[in-house]
């Protein structure tokens, strides 16, 4: 890439006809045994040179299928109609020979999962050079040189060495950067990135987004960024399109759509999002119901069945994506939005978008924890809510009979679960003849924590930090290497399975994956009743109890005879909660309970968990990687890194004044779903990947990635970080961090 | 890799020992090697019987005999696996089991080898075609043929093929297919072309019979494996780079889809050896299959032990080769 080339790009950008990709009336239908599935319906958009367009939507909204159709990567049986013009050339329906000249050369793509997008049997260098050689008649040597250059651009350390390595030798973040290098190999005009950071940890996500921006600068390519993460969109794109049930339902400048959404779905999506810049007390407003099945789309507006303002017209006629009268432009300027003169057109597909001027999510959507399937009409929701309240009342009455349970504690809340110096090592065996133990994966190294009554303690950290292992140790599901766990003063860690069983009633678990955690061959009623059966407390009124529990978690109690596959992800997670509650536990360990759910559904489950805690007096140990959710639900937070606790504080303390550099980096890496804030906020970035827990760095485990260590400290100060592992030190008011040089800063 | 190979070879020893103990016991309790002699008319004298028992070591206890079979210590020099002797045969003192196995090994290996090579080649080709043309008429046809092949019992199909070969020869009026015997000594010293024709005539039908079942299951496997790879992200990325379809299929899809097949083929070796017994019997080859049947007929326990040990070693070797091949094919697998 030369400067000359860059200038050329810029001149082109200034030209009048600067549309690089024009999609019009694009529809994709998949044949199936039950009739055609319209995955994408009449999608149209234009992409200008150098522009970044975001496409957001929940799973199944057709956002990925659209881009695959443009790339011609859909399976043979997919029926693609409409047009996509790349630099004026129609690219839908091209022959293999013609489309392969376009792909990689003019339009490139980045896929979601970096772990599977590189071929495991070829070296990194080979795979990048292959992309160069596909379009340029250069020697293999020259292609390898280009590959090296590309690896440097995307910021991969020691690139010469990496060229000769295989994909499995690189971390996920590195591999995604290799994929970005492949995408930019031939200076394409358009790069489509399909959820490029979804599979990555937040700190790595920040690095990959940076590499993506670098790639755009270098190539001048326009970007289509497909994602479900509204925060990522807010920070990365100029314009955004919202997709629902295969259609674009709203499109406009990112500030317009985020600050002044004019389609109820977009509004609801923003309202259901737990925000890092929101308050803990704020109630989320879920969108009730589930996205329609593509097999039988509703007549009229696809969102009407879930829309609180749907009227007869909405059920009869599908609204067009219409240009809006932007009467609220003035406000935009006042809000600091970047509207100058005539910004990009703001369009929305809603019959009543006029009514949404100035509306907030809370005006429209109800902050409820129940789950209704049909129209989210107020009457129905209220009916469901009151019956839930009834069920909870009964439930509480029953609980009240148990001794020592009803009193909600007046003074200092009682400590239920205590862990002291928890250590868990997993042995690594040699591959030699004797398979001796040659080392340990130090998954958890000295974690201490207390869980108090009626409290939510969140355990946060990136993948591999040991948070799930800690949760399992607390439940005595795996044996600890050393340390102690006690419940109400009784040590748990040396109990046999048989002696542990009665205590398991009090300590229950909700899993991450609602699809894998329910036995598909059992009815929901059997699933919920199973813990009672195991503990011999399934009386003849077990059935009544099951329907109570279903009602308690906001589901229809008549659905107990159904099987798990008949429920959506959010409903299944509610079933998982009901099962955990069936034994009247006092502690629930929630291992990433909402991370597999779409945001509009997630909000309802979060509300449910909050309600249950308030009403049943539960204590939660909430394991999560998502700081926004944690900020919303937790009372206290413990941040983990490589098996160590680096900071622990109340939620307010932690988010308003984070002290440990890792916490600061973590908070700073979470994208805010607010375009202006997201682009102007201060960033603390960490470099590199998480080291292997089999061989953690000496001294402070974070020092290899620590921005403070790298940029601020003197050599003498660094020596302490290298030699001496920092202890958790109290900074007053229970705010503790493990850093020799911690300093509180404000980030949000 | 060397350490890994060593570990695998060492690990195979207890497996083989245990297998040999089990088979030894089972063979021992399943019949009396001298049953035929005892039933002979007129009945043999007590002295003759005792001599025969002594020659076959039947005068010793079962554990003693196993020990003897393994080590040869205390025997007459005609027994002891560790000394390279397979033991005396019921088929007469002149019959040396080791020599017989060695003689027949090549005949059988030739058949097994040819069948596996053709089965594998054909399986890969049809599997790939089926996958690339999924749900097409061609795919359905190949699938049908595959299941048909799976459903044909070897002994029955061998008989049919033999009859068909004879019919074909009659129609053509020439001996195109030899339907009896392995023809090993037929063309020795003849010109090369005649040797080839002779080998082809004898091998064609048995090879087809023997390869059919393996071909059917392997091609199904290859189809699935290919379909999986064709839907993988890295194949999509290869297309997105702008590679032509045929390059993507050859370089990215086929190359990786072949890796898991090595394991399946290695496991399949045992099945092919089984099939070889039946095929050899039908076509009257003097190979290891025939050796095995004769040994069973004669209650020849030491011959059976020799055969079982040999096929055990073959199966273990095939699996070891497959695992080592895996390391060559897949850079993610490394044996240190």
Statement: residue A177 has pLDDT above 90 = yes
Taking any CB pair shorter than 8 Å as contact, residues of chain B touching chain A are 3-4, 6-7, 10, 135, 231-234, 236-245, 252, 255-256, 259, 329-332, 335-336
User: Does residue A421 contact residue A483 with C-beta atoms inside 8 Å?
Assistant: yes
Residue A547 has pLDDT above 60, yes or no: yes
pLDDT at A340 over 50: no
pLDDT of residue B189 exceeding 80: no
Say if residue A602's pLDDT is above 70.
Answer: yes
Residue B117, pLDDT > 90, answer yes
Distance CA A273, CA A670 (A): 13
What pLDDT does A373 receive?
A: 57
Q: Quick check: A339 pLDDT over 70?
A: no
Q: What is the predicted pLDDT for the residue at A331?
A: 45
Q: Mean per-residue pLDDT for A544-559?
A: 88
Residue A223 pLDDT grade (very low, low, confident, very high; cuts 50, 70, 90): very high
| B40-63 mean pLDDT | 86
Predicted confidence (pLDDT) per residue in A619-653, tens digit: 999 999 999 999 999 999 999 999 999 999 999 99
Q: Which of chain B's residues have a Cβ under 8 Å away from the Cβ of A185?
A: 241
Distance between CA atoms of B131 and B136, rounded to whole angstroms?
10
CB-CB: which of B3, B244, B245 is closest to A433?
Answer: B3
pLDDT in the model for residue A409:
46
* Backbone φ, ψ for residue A378 (5° rounding): -60, -45
| SS3 at position A166 | coil
Q: Which residues of B touch A103 (CB under 8 A)?
A: 239-242
User: Please, what are the domains in chain A?
Assistant: 415-634 (3.40.50.300), 652-737 (no CATH)
Instruction: For Cα atoms B226, B230, B234, give the angle at the middle one, nearest 5 degrees.
Output: 125
Residue B3, CA distances (Å) to A382, A560, B7, B9, B321 in order: 70, 57, 6, 10, 14
Count how many pairs of residues, chain A against chain B, have C-beta atoms within 8 Å: 89
- pLDDT for A130 equals 96
B210 or A429, higher pLDDT: B210
Q: Residue A411: is its pLDDT beyond 60?
A: no
Contact A253, A343 (CB under 8 A): yes
Over residues B127-159, the pLDDT tens digits come to 999 999 988 999 999 999 999 998 988 889 999
Helix (H, G, I), strand (E, B) or coil at A56: strand
pLDDT digits (tens, 9 = 90+) for A128-159: 999 999 999 999 999 999 999 999 999 898 99
pLDDT of residue A69: 95
Q: How close is the nearest chain B Cα to the Cα of A592, in Å?
A: 26
pLDDT tens, B13-30? 898 899 999 999 998 888
Q: Do A103 and B240 touch (CB under 8 A)?
A: yes
Q: Is the pLDDT of residue A2 over 60?
A: no
pLDDT, position A436: 76
pLDDT at A374 over 60: no
Res A589: pLDDT: 95
- In three-state secondary structure terms, A586 is coil
> Best of A114, A119, A177 to disrupt the B interface by mutation (most B CBs within 10 Å)?
A119
Given a cut of 50, is residue A403 above it in pLDDT?
no
Cα A205 from Cα A236, distance rounded (Å): 12
Give tens-digit pLDDT for A15-39.
446 899 999 999 999 998 888 899 9
Q: Which of B231, B242, B259 sits opposite A105 (nearest CB)?
A: B242
Nearest CA in chain A to B2: A432
CA distance B245 to chain A (A): 7
Interchain pair B329, A431: CB under 8 A: no
Tell me which of A705-709, A728-732, B73-77 is least confident.
B73-77
pLDDT band for A698, please (50, 70, 90 cuts): very high
Q: Flag if A182 and B237 touch (Cβ within 8 Å).
A: yes
Mean pLDDT, chain A, integer: 87
Q: Which pLDDT does position A406 carry in this prediction? A: 43
Q: Is A170 on the interface with B (CB under 8 A)?
A: no
Residue B200: exposure state from Cβ atoms within 10 A (0-12, 13-18, ≥19): middle
Residue B9 has pLDDT above 90, yes or no: no
| Structure tokens, B280 | 């050899």
> pLDDT (tens digit, 9 = 90+) per residue, A48-62?
999 999 999 988 899
Lowest mean pLDDT among A325-339, A343-357, B240-254: A325-339
- The DSSP code sequence of A412-452 is SPPEEEEEEEEEEEEEEE-SSSS--EEEEEEEEEEEEEEEE
Question: Is the pLDDT confidence value at A91 over 80?
Answer: yes
Q: Which residues of A touch B10 (CB under 8 A)?
A: 433
Going along chain B from its start, the domains and CATH numbers come out as: 2-86 (no CATH), 97-329 (1.10.3720.10)
Q: Search chain A and give the residue with CA nearest B9.
A: A433
Give residue A330's pLDDT: 43
Instruction: Select the residue from B11, B229, B241, B262 to test the A interface by mutation, using most A Cβ atoms within 10 A.
Output: B241
On the question of pLDDT at A587 being above 90, the answer is yes
- CA atoms of A430 and A690, how far apart (whole Å): 23
pLDDT higher than threshold 50 for residue A4:
no
Share of chain A above pLDDT 90, in %: 57
What is the rounded distance in angstroms from the CA atom of residue A424 to the CA atom of residue B143? 51
Interface of A with B in 67-126 (CB under 8 A): 71, 73, 75, 77, 96-97, 100-105, 108-109, 111-113, 116-121
Average pLDDT over residues A212-234: 93
Over 80: is that where the pLDDT of A581 sits? yes
Asked if the model's pLDDT at residue A13 lies above 80, the reply is no
Average pLDDT, chain B: 88
Token digits of residue A61: 């909204």
Q: Is A116's CB within 8 Å of B242's CB?
A: no
Is the pLDDT reported for residue A336 higher than 60? Answer: no
Given a cut of 50, whether residue A11 has pLDDT beyond it is no
* Buried-state track B209-223, b at ≥16 Cβ within 10 A, e below 16: bbbbbbbbbbbbbbb
Task: Say yes or no for a CB contact (<8 Å) between B332 and A120.
Answer: yes
Per-residue pLDDT tens digits for A412-461: 788 999 999 999 999 888 766 667 778 888 999 999 999 999 999 999 99
Looking at residue A17, its pLDDT comes to 61
């Amino acid at each position: 890439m030369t400067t000359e080339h860059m200038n050329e790009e810029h001149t082109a950008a200034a030209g009048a006809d600067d549309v690089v990709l024009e999609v019009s009336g694009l529809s994709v239908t998949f044949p199936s045994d039950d009739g055609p599935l319209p995955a994408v319906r009449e999608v149209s958009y234009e992409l200008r040179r150098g522009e970044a367009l975001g496409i957001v939507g929940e799973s199944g909204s057709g956002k990925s299928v659209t881009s695959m159709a443009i790339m011609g990567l859909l399976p043979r049986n997919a029926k693609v109609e409409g047009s996509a013009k790349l630099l004026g050339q129609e690219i839908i329906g091209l022959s293999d020979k013609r489309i392969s000249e376009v792909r990689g050369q003019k339009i490139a793509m980045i896929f979601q999962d970096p772990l599977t997008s590189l071929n495991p049997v070829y070296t990194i260098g080979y795979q990048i050079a292959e992309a160069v050689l596909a379009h340029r008649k250069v020697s293999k040597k020259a292609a390898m040189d280009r590959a090296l250059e590309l690896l440097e651009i995307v910021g991969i350390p020691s690139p010469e060495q990496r060229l000769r390595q295989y994909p499995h030798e690189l971390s996920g973040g590195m591999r995604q950067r290799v994929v970005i290098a492949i995408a930019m190999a031939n200076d394409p005009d358009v790069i489509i990135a399909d959820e490029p950071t979804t599979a990555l940890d937040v700190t790595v996500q920040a690095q990959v987004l940076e590499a993506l921006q670098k790639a755009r600068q270098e190539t001048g390519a326009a970007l289509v960024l497909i994602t479900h993460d509204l925060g990522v969109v807010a920070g990365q794109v100029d314009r955004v399109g919202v997709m629902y049930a295969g259609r674009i339902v709203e499109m406009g400048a990112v500030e317009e759509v985020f600050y002044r959404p004019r389609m109820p779905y977009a509004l609801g999506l923003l309202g259901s999002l737990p925000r890092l810049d929101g308050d803990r007390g704020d109630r989320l407003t879920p969108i009730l119901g589930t996205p329609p099945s593509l097999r039988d789309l509703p007549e009229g507006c696809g969102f009407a069945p879930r829309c609180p303002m749907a009227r007869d017209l909405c059920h009869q006629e599908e609204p067009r994506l219409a240009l809006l009268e932007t009467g609220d432009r003035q406000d935009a300027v006042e809000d600091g939005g970047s509207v100058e003169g005539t910004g990009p057109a703001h369009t929305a597909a809603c019959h009543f978008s006029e009514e949404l001027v100035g509306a907030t999510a809370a005006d429209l959507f109800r902050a409820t924890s129940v789950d209704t399937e049909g129209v989210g009409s107020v009457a129905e929701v209220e009916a469901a809510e009151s019956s839930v309240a009834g069920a909870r009342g009964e439930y509480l009455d029953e609980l009240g009979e148990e001794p020592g349970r009803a009193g909600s504690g007046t003074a200092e809340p009682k400590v239920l679960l205590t862990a002291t110096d928890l250590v868990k090592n997993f042995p690594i065996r040699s591959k030699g003849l004797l398979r001796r133990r040659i080392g340990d994966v130090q998954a958890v190294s000295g974690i201490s924590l207390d869980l108090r009554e009626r409290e939510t303690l969140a355990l946060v950290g990136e993948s591999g930090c040991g948070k799930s292992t800690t949760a399992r140790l607390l439940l005595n599901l795996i044996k600890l290497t050393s340390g102690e766990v006690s419940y109400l003063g009784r040590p748990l860690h040396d109990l046999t399975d048989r002696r542990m069983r009665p205590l398991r009633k009090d300590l229950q678990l909700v899993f991450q994956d609602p699809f894998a955690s329910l036995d598909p061959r059992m009815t929901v009623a059997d699933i919920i009743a199973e813990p009672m059966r195991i503990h011999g407390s399934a009386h003849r009124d077990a059935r009544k109890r099951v329907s109570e529990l279903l009602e308690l978690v906001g589901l229809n109690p008549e659905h107990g005879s159904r099987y798990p596959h008949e429920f959506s992800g959010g409903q299944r997670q509610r079933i998982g909660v009901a099962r955990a509650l069936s034994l009247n536990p006092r502690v629930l360990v929630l291992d990433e309970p909402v991370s597999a759910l779409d945001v509009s559904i997630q909000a309802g489950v979060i509300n449910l968990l909050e309600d249950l805690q308030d009403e049943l007096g539960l204590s939660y140990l909430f394991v999560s990687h998502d700081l926004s959710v944690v900020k919303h639900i937790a009372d206290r937070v413990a941040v983990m890194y490589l098996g160590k606790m680096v900071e622990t504080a109340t939620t307010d303390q932690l988010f308003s004044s984070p002290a440990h550099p890792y916490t600061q980096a973590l908070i700073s890496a979470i994208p805010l779903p607010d375009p202006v804030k997201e682009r102007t906020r201060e960033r603390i970035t960490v470099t590199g990947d998480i080291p292997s827990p089999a061989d953690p760095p000496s001294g402070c485990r974070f020092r290899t990635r620590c921005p403070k260590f790298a940029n601020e400290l003197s050599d003498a100060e660094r020596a302490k970080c290298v030699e001496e592992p920092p202890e958790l030190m109290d900074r007053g008011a229970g705010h503790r961090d493990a850093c020799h040089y911690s300093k509180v800063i404000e980030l949000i | 890799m060397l350490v890994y190979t060593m570990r695998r070879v060492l690990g195979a020893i207890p497996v083989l020992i245990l297998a040999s103990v089990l088979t030894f016991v089972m063979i021992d309790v399943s019949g009396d090697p001298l049953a035929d002699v005892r039933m002979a008319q007129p009945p043999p004298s007590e002295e003759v019987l005792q001599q025969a028992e002594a020659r076959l070591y039947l005068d010793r206890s079962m554990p003693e005999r196993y020990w003897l079979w393994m080590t040869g210590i205390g025997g007459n020099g005609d027994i002891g696996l560790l000394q390279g002797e397979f033991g005396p045969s019921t088929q007469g003192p002149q019959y040396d089991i080791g020599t017989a196995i060695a003689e027949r090994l090549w005949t059988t290996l030739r058949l097994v080898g040819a069948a596996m090579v053709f089965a594998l080649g054909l399986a890969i080709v049809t599997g790939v075609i089926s996958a690339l043309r999924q749900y097409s008429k061609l795919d359905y046809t190949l699938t049908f043929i595959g299941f048909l092949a799976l459903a044909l019992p070897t002994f029955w199909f061998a008989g049919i093929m033999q009859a068909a070969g004879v019919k074909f020869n009659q129609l053509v009026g020439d001996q195109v297919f030899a339907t009896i015997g392995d023809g090993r000594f037929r063309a020795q010293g003849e010109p090369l072309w005649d040797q080839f024709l002779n080998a082809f005539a004898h091998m064609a039908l048995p090879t087809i019979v023997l390869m059919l079942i393996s071909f059917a299951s392997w091609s199904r496997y290859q189809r699935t494996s290919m379909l999986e790879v064709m839907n993988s992200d890295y194949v999509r990325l290869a297309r997105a780079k702008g590679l032509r379809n045929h390059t993507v299929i050859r370089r990215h899809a086929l190359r990786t889809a072949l890796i898991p097949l090595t394991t399946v083929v290695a496991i399949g070796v045992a099945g092919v050896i089984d099939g070889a017994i039946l095929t050899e019997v039908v076509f009257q080859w003097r190979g290891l299959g025939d050796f095995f049947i004769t040994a069973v007929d004669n209650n020849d326990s030491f011959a059976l032990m020799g055969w079982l040990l040999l096929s055990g070693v073959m199966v273990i070797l095939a699996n070891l080769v497959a695992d080592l091949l895996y390391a060559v094919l897949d850079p993610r697998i490394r044996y240190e």
